[in-house]
Amino acid sequence: MNISCRRKWYSKDEWKQKFTHEEAEKWLNRLGNLTILGGPKNREVSNLPYYVKKALYRGEPIKVGKKKKTTIDIFVPTWDVANKYEDWTPDIIEARNKDLIDKIFQILLIKK
């Protein structure tokens, strides 16, 4: 699941203020911008602002428009994103991307 807005990011003010078009394209499908979210919840939250996603990633019920949304299948990496990052920017994605790649290399015992 993409953390930053997956499509139509440019029409969402929150994302537009934080990402240039080039940054959005560059980081959209990178490891640092991905997290685990089960089933239909992925579709439900795909284009929501980060502050809403963050609450849902924490498992908090939140009202979006007329609907109340809840996330019941919280995975550790998703919960970690919500609790570690107050905001979601290209710099944060880049740092998280590097951190996750380093962890993968350590787990697989790959030398850089």
Q: Which of 15-19, 58-62, 72-76, 103-107 has the lowest mean pLDDT?
A: 72-76
Q: How many CA within 13 A on the CB side of residue 56?
A: 26
Does a structural domain hold residue 67? yes
Token look-up 């979006």 returns 64
Q: How confident is the model at residue 71 (pLDDT cuts 50, 70, 90)?
A: low
Please report whether residue 4 resides in a domain: no
- Asked if 42 and 1 touch (Cβ cutoff 8 Å), the reply is yes
Q: Does residue 57 lie within any of the structural domains?
A: yes
What integer pLDDT is reported at residue 101 of this predicted model? Answer: 95
Average pLDDT over residues 82-88: 92
Per cent of the chain over pLDDT 70 is 85
Q: Residue 98 belongs to what domain range?
A: 9-107
SS3 23: helix
When divided into structural domains, the chain yields a total of 1
Q: Rounded to an integer, what distance in angstroms lies between the CA atom of residue 46 and that of residue 48?
A: 6
Judge whether 112 lies within some domain. no
Residue 33: inside a domain, yes or no? yes
Three-class DSSP category at 100: helix
What pLDDT is stored for residue 102 in this prediction? 94
User: Which one has a higher pLDDT value, 72 or 57?
Assistant: 57
